[in-house]
Amino acid sequence: MTLKSVLILCFLATAALTECSAFVPHSLSTRNNSVHHTFVLLGASGDLARREIYPALWYLYRDGHLLRKTEIFGYARSALTIADIRDRVAPFIQVRPQEEKLYNEFWSLNRYINGSRDADTDYDRIDRIVSESEENETEANRIFYLALPPATFPSTASQIKRACMAKKGSTKVVVEKPFGRDSESSEELSEHLKALFTEDQIYRMDHFLGYEMVQNLLSLRFANRMFSPSWNKDNIAAIEVDFKENFGIEGRGGYFDSNGMIRDVMQNHLLQIVSLVAMEKPVSVDPDDIRDAKVELLKKTRPIVLDDVVIGQYVANPESADPRERIGYRDDPTVKNDSITATFALTVLKIDNERWTGVPFIIRAGKGLNINRTDVIIQYKNVDHDLFDGQSQRNELVIRRVGKTEALQAKLTSKTPGITSDLERITIDFDYTKAYPDLQNPGAYERLLLDVFRGTQLNFVRSDELSEAWRIFTPALHEIENRKIRPIEYKFGTTGPVEADEMEKKNDFL
C-alpha cells in the first residue's frame, strides 16, 4: 500500500467518525419524539431569520430531524403574515418538486405574531398564544431565539423571564453574537443573563462551531494516533488560522463599521478554532469536559499586544476587471467617509503551557481579499540534519473550507519520479465532495439548531470561555481605538497588507 493510500484511508476514517456524529449520543431521527416544543423566533422579519434560521428549520423538518410535535412562532414589529414571511424566505430555500407537499406541511407549523420589542402586554400575548398551543400537552418545552440587535438582548431576556417561561417543561434562550464589545460590556451582559437563567438554559450561538471543518477537529486530533506524538512545540513551528473573504461589506456597513474585523471574526470564530486545535485531551466527549479543556487553554493564552498586530482596510482597485473590486471600503454609502475600521487583521497568540510555549498561533482575517476560503494550517519544523542538501520542505497539515466544500490536505516532501535524486513537495488531498458526492452535508445552523432541540451545549460558548476570550483581545482593541491607529491600505482583490506577510515570517511561518 502506498503512502498516499495510507493517508487517504486515515482521512476517510476521520471523516466517517464525524459523519456518524460520534459526539452526539442521541438518535439522528427525532420526528417521533413525543415532547411538544415551541420555537419562538424573535426578529422573524430580519435578515438572519430569512437567510439562516427559517431555511435551517425547513431542512431539519425535511430530513426528519425536527421534533414531530413542534410549533414555530415568528415575532417581530412588522405588520406581516406568515405568508409574507414565507415569501421573504423563498429566495434562500431549496425545495425539490417532490418535496412541495412536505414544504407546505412545514409552513403549517408556523405562525406569526407582531408586536413591540419590550412592551409587557406584547410578551404577555406571546405567552398566552403559546400556552394555548400547549393546552393539551403534559410536557412542553420552549426555545426562544434572539435574532435581534445586541442592544435589545437585556430587555428581551428580561421579558422572557417575566412572562414567557415554560410552564410544563424546559426553557432555552439562544443568543447570537456579538456578546459585548469588550470585557466590561460582555461581563455586564453575562451577569444580566445569569440573573435570569441558569447556564444550561443559555445557548450562545457561534455558527463557526457548526461547520464540518471545525467539528472534525476533535476527530482529527484525538482519533488518529499518528498525530498525537508530534502535536507539540518539539515538532510544530507555527500554526495559522486564515479566514479570507473575496467580497466587501456591500451595503452592510452599519454593523461592521462599529465593530471591525477583530470583533467580527477573530475574538470569537477564529479563537474557537485555536482552542480546539491547541487544547489538551479532554476527560471525555461530554460537552462540559470539552469546554473545560478549551477554557484551560484560553487561560494559558497571553493578551495580545500591539507589536503583534497588523490591521488593514481595503481600498478601490481601479485596475480590476471586477466592478465590485473598484469600490473601496470608505466608498460604500453605509460607511463613514473618515472610517478607520479595520477590514483586515493579523495577530499572534502566545500560549504559555508545556505543549505550546514558543509556538506562535497566527490568526489572520480579511475582507476584500483574493479568495473566499478558511484554512487551518499546522506547519511542522524543518527536518533536523537534512540529508538532501536543503531540498526538504516543511510538512503541513491543512484543514480547509471553500464555500460549502471541506477538505483535508497533507503536504509532504517526496522524490521526484524518474532517474533523479531531486525532491519536490506533494499534496495528498481528501475532498469531501469527491469522496461523498451524494452527501447532503448539513449547514452550520442546521447542526446547531438541532443541538438546541436536543439540549446538548457542546458547540455553544460558555460564559467562562467568553470571559477569557475578551481578556485576550480587550487591551489591544482599546489601545487601537484610543490611539486612533489608522489601518494600512491594501487593494481590493489582493492578499492584504505586505506587513502581514512580514509578520508571518517574523514568527517563523513560511
CA dihedral (487, 492, 497, 498) positive or negative? negative
Closest CA to 504 of 301, 242, 213, 235: 242
Maximal C-alpha separation, the chain: 84
How long is the chain?
510
3 state DSSP class of 406 = strand
Rounded CA-CA distance 38/165 in Å is 11
Helices (H) and strands (E) counted in the chain, each on its own, are 17, 15
Rounded CA-CA distance 461/189 in Å is 14
Rounded to whole angstroms, what are the CA distances from 90 to 49, 55, 58, 84, 448? 12, 9, 11, 10, 22
Rounded CA-CA distance 53/177 in Å is 14
Residues contacting 47, CB < 8 A, separation 6+: none
3 state DSSP class of 86 = helix
Element at 75 (helix H, strand E)? strand 70-76
Show which residues are catalytic: 269
- How would DSSP label each residue in 342-397? -SEEEEEEEB-STTTTT-EEEEEEESSBS--EEEEEEEEPPPTT-SSTT-----EE
Taking a C-beta distance cutoff of 8 angstroms, is the pair 377, 359 a contact? no
Taking CA 307 as the corner, what is the angle to CA 359 and CA 352, rounded to the nearest 5 degrees? 30
DSSP state of 58: H
Residues contacting 401, CB < 8 A, separation 6+: 211, 212, 213, 373, 374, 375, 407
Taking CA 18 as the corner, what is the angle to CA 434 and CA 366, rounded to the nearest 5 degrees? 70
Taking a C-beta distance cutoff of 8 angstroms, is the pair 342, 499 a contact? no
Taking a C-beta distance cutoff of 8 angstroms, is the pair 61, 54 a contact? no
